[in-house]
Chains A and B, each alone.
Chain A
Amino acid sequence: MSPLLEMRSITKEYRGVAAVEDVSFALETGEIHALVGENGAGKSTLTKIIAGAVTPTSGTMLLDGKPIVFAVPKDALHAGIAMVYQENSLVPALTVAQNIFLGRERFFNRMRGINIAAQQFLQSLNFGVDPTASVGSLGAAQRQMVEIARAVRQQARIIIFDEPTASLTPEEKFHFFGLMKRLKQSGVSIIFISHALEEALQNADRITVLRDGKHVLTDAAAKLDRTAVIRAMVGRNLSGEIYGVHAGSRAVRARGRKVLSVQNLSMGSLVRNTSFSVFAGQVTGMFGLIGSGRTETAKIIAGVLKRDMLHGGEVKLDGRPVRYRVPQPAVRDGIVYVTEDRKLEGFFETMSIGGNLNVSAMATKGGIFTLVNLAEMRRLAKKWIDAIKIRAINGDARVIELSGGNQQKLVIAKSLVQTPKLIIFDEPTRGVDVGAIAEIHQFINRLADEGLAVVVISSYLPEIMNLSDRILVTRQGRVVEEFTAREATEERIMYAAVH
C-alpha cells in the first residue's frame, strides 16, 4: 500500500543555494510524523512545499500514489492539506469566530450563529478562547490556539503544525497532544515540527531528521532517544551542553551588588504588588505559567509598558527610583529587554543586520541630528557576527533571510550593542534549534560571568533550572516563591507556579 503522501528527491534552490536538497519523505495515513532539525535545516521549506506555498525546483510529490503539483496554497487546501504556520496568519482586526470561518463564509452570515458554532468548536478542542474577542487583543498562546482550531476546522486529511506548542502552557500542551491523537484516530495524518524533542519522542510515531537541507534519518520514535536525535540533528552530541547538567550539581555564581529592586509594582490585574531584586553577576530565572505577569513586569522595568499611574509601586536601579515612560531612557540607564516575540518587536526584518544593530546603537548615543555612518554600520555588523556567531553571508544580509536561531542571536546582539548592566531575556530560545540553544545559553552564562545582572524568563523548566543561579516563581501577577539553584526541583517550582 502506497503512503498517503510521498516526496521523491525534492530539491528547492534559492538563487543557486539549496534550502532542501534531494530529500525523500513519506507520510502514512493516520500517522503522526515529527520533523526535526536545526534552524535552517530545511524543515519549513519542506513543509511549505507540501502546503503549496513553495514550488520545488526538482523532484516529485505524490498524493494517494498520484503525482501532484500545487501552484498555490489553495490547491493544497483543496487536496486536503492544511498548515498551521509558526508565523501567525490570522487577521487581527477580525474576531476569533470570524478567523475560524475565514474563507468559508456563506453569502449571508449571522454573527450570532458563527459565534455559537465557534464556541462549540473551541470547547470541543478544550481551548478556552472567547470567540467574540478580536484576535488582536489575544496573547500569543491564544492566537496559536485559534490557528490550530482553524486548521482542524478545515477537516484536512493532512495537517502540518509548525512549532505548535511554542507558546502553550503545559496544560494547553496536554490538551493539544490529546487533540492530535484524536485526529490521528480519525484517520488524519499529521506532520509536526518541534524544537522540543521530548514532544516529538513522546507523541510521534516516526521522526525524520533534516540537517543542512538534507535528509539524515527517518525512524520509529520508539527506537530513538534524545541523544540519538540530537546527534543526528547537529552531527555532535549536545545533550549535556543544553539541559544535561542538573541545577543542583553545578556551581552557582555568587551574588553581586543589588542592581534592581522592584517594590510593590502593580499594573492593572496583570502585575499585582510584585516585589523582587536582581543582583549583578548572576542569572535570575523567572518561571511562571503564561499570564502570570512575567513579561509585563519585565516590560514595565524596561519602559515598554507603564505601571499603574496611582500607587503603582517603585523600581529602583542601583538604589535610585526610576520610572520610564518609553524604553529609550531605560536603555540609556543600562536596562535592555530582549523580547519574546522577535518577529513583531525584535527587529526590522527587511533591514540588514548592520542596519538593525545601528538602530540599537543610536538608541543609546544617537540624537536627532545623528548621521548614519555606513562604514560604522558594517564594522558593527562584522563585530557582532563574529562575536556571537550569526550565520550570514555578511552584515548586509537582510534579517528576513536568516534562520530563527540567527534572528534570535541578532536580537541579543542588538541589546548588547547598548552596553547594558541589566539584561532581561524573555523566552530567549523560543523557536530556536538545539544548536543555537546551546550557543545562546553559553552566551547568557558568559554575560553573568562578566558581572552583568541577567534575568531569564522562560516557560521551559529545564532551561530555567539549567541556566539560573536563583529562580523566582510568579503566579497571578506576583513573585510568590524563590528557590536557589541547589534546592530547585521541577516539582517544587511547578507546585509554586500553580498553587
Chain B
Amino acid sequence: MLRGMIDRFVGRGDAAVTVPPMDGALRPNQKLEEAHVAIEAGAPDNLVLRRGDVLFSSGRDLRRLDTGAVVRNFDRPIACVAAAADGRLAVGLTGAEVVIVDPDGMVASLPIAHTGCATALAFLGDALIVCRGSARYAADQWKRDLMETGAGGPGTGSVVLMPRGGAPRVIADQLRWPFGALAVNGHIVVSESWAHRLLLLDPHGSSPPRPVLFDLPGYPARLAAASDGAAWLTVFAPRSQLIEFVLREDGYRRRMMSEIDPDYWIAPALANGRSFLEPIQGGALKQMGVLKPWAPSRSYGLIIKLDDDFEPTLSLHSRADGSRHGTTSVLEHSATLFVASKGGDVVVAMPVEQLSEQ
C-alpha cells in the first residue's frame, strides 16, 4: 500500500502516466487517408465474408459492400457479426443476445446469459467464440465500461466457447473488454482493449491465457486473418497521456461520468472534431486553423499487420488530422484489404500488394 502511494506520488510503476511510442512497424503514415472509398455508410462496423460476398454491419442493417443493398435488418443495432463456412451468420445485437441466422433465413437465439454484450464473434469450426466485453454494460456503452474500470481495475469481460449443440464454456474471464477474436492454429487470439494487449487462449482450457502482444499504443479491436501473415489487427483509438492520467483519477472520473455527456468525456472516441464542446481537441495543437497530425487526439485510425509471432510488421494510419478514425474492423479478400472506419462513416479499400512492410 505504501509502495502504491509512493508510486502514485512519483509517477512510476502502475502509476506511470506514459504511452508507448508509435515507431518501428507502427511508424505513422497516411495510408488509410489515401485509400479509396469502397462505400460510405453510417457507422460501418463489422466486416465479414459470407460465400464470397463481403458484408458489413451499419446500425440495424447488415449490408453488402459491393452494392450497399441491405441483406437483413434487425430490431436492434448490430454489435458484431461472424460468418461460418457453411453460410450461417452469428449476429450479436446491442443490449440483447446473439442470434444465428441459417442460410435459409431461419433465426435462432442463443442464451443471453452467455452471449450478452457480445463485442466480437468468430467461428472455430462449428463452435462459436463469443467475446463478451462486459458483464455490466451493453456493447455500445464501452466508454462507460472503460471509465468505470479505470487504469488498473479488474475487467468483467469474458470469452465463451459455444459448441454447436453443446454446453457453453467460459474459456477466459475477468478480461478487460475483449473486442476481437481470431482462430489461429487451433488456438484463439483475443484482443483485450482496456489492457492494450492480445491474449492467446487455449480453447480446451488446458493452459492459462498467454499475452502475445502487449503495451500497444492504442485500444485494440477486431482481428482478421491475413493471407501471408498471422493477422490484421484494428485499433480504434489511441492512448494519450491525458486519458491515461484520467484513468488513474477515480474521483475525477466519477464526477465526469455523473455530470457530463459521454460525448464530451476525456476518453477515447471513434471520431472527434465534431463539436466545439469536445475537450481539448487534438491536445490544442491546432495552429492557424490546422490540426497537426502528431497532435494527441482522442480518436485515430490504425490497422496493424502481425506476423506468425504476433509481432507488428506494418501499419496503416489515419492520424489526428485525418478523418478515417474509429477503425473497428478489417477484412482481407481477393487481394484487397477492406477497413471499416466507424468514426469516419466509410469503408475503404486498398490493394494488399501495395502495402509494403516498414
The chain A residues found within 8 Å of chain B, CB to CB, are: 255, 257-258, 261-264, 275-277, 279, 309-314, 316, 319, 321, 323, 470, 472, 479, 482, 484
Contacts and interface: CB of A to CB of B under 8 A. Distances in A.
Contacts of B27: 482, 484
Contact of B21 (A261, A279, A310): A261
A263 B12 contact: no
Nearest to A484: B358
Output the residue of B9, B18, B25, B241 with the most chain A CB within 10 A: B18
Contacts of A313: 16, 18
Contacts of B18: 263-264, 275, 313-314
Contact of A264 (B13, B19, B23, B25): B19
A406 B17 CA distance: 44
Interface residues of B, number: 20
Given A261-B21, A277-B21, A319-B214, A314 B9 contact: no
B11 A261 contact: no
B23 to A, nearest CB: 5
Given A257-B311, A264-B241, A482 B16 contact: no
B20 interface: yes
Output the residue of B13, B17, B23 with the most chain A CB within 10 A: B23
B311 A276 contact: no
Interface string B1-45: 000000001111100111111011101000000000000000000
B215 interface: yes
A311 B16 CA distance: 7
Given A310-B9, A319-B215, A262 B21 contact: yes
B215 A261 contact: yes
Contact of B20 (A261, A311, A470, A484): A261
B10 A263 contact: no
Contacts of B214: 319
B16 A314 contact: yes
Contacts of B358: 484
B71 to A, nearest CB: 41
A263 B21 CA distance: 7
B13 A311 contact: no
Contacts of A319: 214-215
Contacts of A277: 20-21, 23-24
Contact of A276 (B19, B23, B25): B23
Interface of B: 9-13, 16-21, 23-25, 27, 214-215, 241, 311, 358
A311 B11 contact: yes
Closest 4 CB pairs of A and B: A311-B11, A275-B21, A263-B18, A264-B18
Given A279-B24, A321-B16, 4 more contacts: A261-B215, A277-B21, A310-B10, A312-B12
Contact of A314 (B12, B24, B311): B12
Contact of A258 (B12, B24, B241): B24
A277 B26 CA distance: 10
A210 B11 CA distance: 57
Contacts of B21: 261-263, 275-277, 479
Contacts of A276: 21, 23
A261 to B, nearest CB: 6
Contacts of A321: 12-13, 16
B172 to A, nearest CB: 21
A470 B27 CA distance: 11
Contacts, number: 61
A309 B16 contact: no
A493 to B, nearest CB: 15
What is the interface of chain A mostly: helix, strand, loop, or mixed? Answer: strand
A470 B24 CA distance: 8
B304 to A, nearest CB: 13
A277 B27 CA distance: 11
B23 A311 contact: no
Nearest to A310: B10
A324 B329 CA distance: 41
Contacts of A482: 23, 27
B24 A312 contact: no
B311 to A, nearest CB: 7
Given A470-B24, A484-B358, A310 B215 contact: no
Contacts of B12: 312, 314, 321, 323
B317 to A, nearest CB: 13
Nearest to B9: A310
A264 B10 contact: no
A479 B18 CA distance: 15
A59 B25 CA distance: 63
Nearest to A472: B23
A333 B358 CA distance: 29
Contact of A263 (B9, B13, B20): B20
Nearest to A256: B311
B17 A311 contact: yes
Output the residue of B13, B21, B25, B214 with the most chain A CB within 10 A: B21
Output the residue of B9, B11, B24, B27 with the most chain A CB within 10 A: B24
27 contacts: A255-B25, A261-B20, A263-B16, A263-B20, A264-B17, A264-B19, A264-B241, A275-B19, A275-B23, A276-B21, A276-B23, A277-B23, A279-B24, A309-B10, A310-B11, A311-B10, A312-B12, A313-B16, A314-B16, A316-B215, A319-B214, A321-B12, A321-B13, A321-B16, A470-B24, A472-B23, A482-B27
Nearest to A278: B24
A472 B19 CA distance: 18
B191 to A, nearest CB: 17
A319 B17 CA distance: 16
A267 B157 CA distance: 39
B279 to A, nearest CB: 20
Contacts of B311: 255, 257-258
Contacts of B25: 255
B199 to A, nearest CB: 15
A257 B306 CA distance: 12
Given A255-B25, A319-B214, A312 B11 contact: yes
Nearest to A282: B24
Contacts of A255: 24-25, 311
B309 to A, nearest CB: 8
Contacts of B24: 255, 258, 277, 279, 470
Given A255-B25, A261-B215, A316-B215, A275 B10 contact: no
B262 to A, nearest CB: 27
Contacts of B23: 275-277, 472, 479, 482
A255 B215 CA distance: 18
A479 B358 CA distance: 18
Nearest to B358: A484
Nearest to A254: B357
Nearest to A311: B11
Contacts of A275: 18-21, 23
A316 B21 CA distance: 12
A312 B18 CA distance: 9
Contacts of B10: 309-311
